[in-house]
C-alpha cells in the first residue's frame, strides 16, 4: 500500500488553509504507482489582487507627471479584467480615465507551430492610435516574455508609441527574452513544469475574456511527481505555458 506523503507539522498553509510543501505547492495524496496528486495552491485571493493593483496604480501615478499620455493595453484573457481594475484605480487616484485597449497577440507568437497549438483568436479592441503614447501592457502572468514580445509586434499595427512598459500581476521568472517587468504585483519562483493561473472563481477555465468576472484568484498548480522525485527535488521550485 502506497504511503501518503505529508508536510511537516510546521509547513505553511495557503489562503484556503491547506498545507503547502517546501516547494510552495500543496501536498496531495498518492494516487497509485507512486504518483502524487497535487492540489492547486491559492497564492493570491481576490483581496490580495485588489491590494496589488491599488499599489501598482499609485506607483504609476508617482512615476508619470502627465497621465494623459498613458494608454493601457490589456492582453486577453486575464489581462483584460486586470486592466479594467487598474483603469478604475488610476481614475480614482488621479481623476484621469485612461483609454483601455484589448490586444490579441495570438497571430504574432513565434512558438505556435513549434508547440503544435491550434490558434484560438480572441478579440482586439483598440479605441485609438498609440502614436506618441506611453503604453502600459497589462498581463496576468509573465514567464518567458514571449507573449509580451508578441504584444509589442502586434502594437505596431496601431501606431508608434513613445515607450512601452509592462504591468504584470505575477512574475514567474524563466525569461527567454530580455523583457523587463516595470510594475509587478508578486514575484512567484516556480519550476519549469509548474503552472500559475489567474482565474475567475465563477468561470475557472477562463475561456472568454469578457466572461472573466470577480472574484478572482491566482493558483499554483505543481506538476505531479513520483514519491521518489518528490524527495529528490524537495529543495527545488518547480512553468508550463510559455508566457
Which pTM does this prediction carry?
Answer: 0.74
Lowest mean pLDDT among 1-15, 16-30, 69-83, 227-241: 227-241
Lowest mean pLDDT among 14-18, 73-77, 167-171, 232-236: 232-236
Residue 176 lies in a domain: yes
Residue 149 lies in a domain: yes
Residue 199 lies in a domain: yes
Residue 187 lies in a domain: yes
Please give the residue range of the domain that contains residue 137: 40-222
Residue 6 lies in a domain: no
Domain with residue 148: its CATH number is 3.40.50.2020
Tens of pLDDT along 55-71? 999 999 999 999 999 99
Which of 40, 19, 42, 41 lies closest to 5 in space, CA to CA?
Answer: 19
165 and 136 in contact (C-beta within 8 Å)? Answer: yes
Residue 210 lies in a domain: yes
The whole-number pLDDT of residue 112 equals: 65
Residue 233 lies in a domain: no
Residue 140 lies in a domain: yes
Tens of pLDDT along 70-98? 999 999 999 999 999 999 999 999 999 99
Q: How many domains does the chain have?
A: 1
Tens of pLDDT along 152-204? 999 999 999 999 999 999 999 999 999 999 999 999 988 888 999 999 987 65
Which of 169, 137, 134 lies closest to 150 in space, CA to CA?
Answer: 137
Amino acid at each position: 500500500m502506497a504511503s501518503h506523503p505529508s508536510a511537516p507539522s510546521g509547513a505553511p498553509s495557503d489562503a484556503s488553509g491547506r498545507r503547502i510543501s517546501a516547494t510552495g505547492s500543496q501536498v496531495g495524496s498518492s494516487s497509485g504507482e507512486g504518483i502524487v496528486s497535487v492540489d492547486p495552491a491559492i497564492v493570491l485571493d481576490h483581496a490580495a489582487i485588489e491590494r496589488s493593483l491599488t499599489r501598482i496604480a499609485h506607483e504609476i501615478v508617482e512615476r508619470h507627471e502627465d497621465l494623459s499620455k498613458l494608454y493601457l493595453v490589456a492582453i486577453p484573457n486575464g489581462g483584460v479584467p486586470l486592466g479594467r481594475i487598474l483603469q478604475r484605480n488610476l481614475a480614482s487616484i488621479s481623476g484621469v480615465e485612461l483609454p483601455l485597449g484589448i490586444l490579441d497577440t495570438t497571430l504574432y507568437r513565434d512558438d505556435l507551430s513549434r508547440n503544435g497549438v491550434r490558434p484560438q483568436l480572441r478579440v482586439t479592441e483598440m479605441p485609438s492610435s498609440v502614436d506618441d503614447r506611453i503604453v502600459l501592457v497589462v498581463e496576468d502572468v509573465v514567464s518567458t516574455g514571449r507573449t509580451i514580445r508578441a504584444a509589442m509586434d502586434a502594437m505596431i499595427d496601431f501606431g508608434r508609441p513613445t515607450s512601452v512598459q509592462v504591468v504584470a500581476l505575477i512574475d514567474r521568472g524563466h525569461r527567454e527574452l530580455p523583457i523587463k517587468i516595470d510594475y509587478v504585483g508578486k514575484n512567484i519562483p516556480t519550476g519549469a513544469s509548474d503552472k500559475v493561473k489567474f482565474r475567475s472563481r465563477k468561470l475557472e477555465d477562463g475561456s472568454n475574456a469578457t466572461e472573466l468576472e470577480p472574484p478572482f484568484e491566482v493558483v499554483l498548480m505543481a506538476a505531479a511527481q513520483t514519491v521518489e522525485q518528490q524527495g529528490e527535488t524537495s529543495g527545488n521550485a518547480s512553468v508550463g505555458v510559455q508566457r
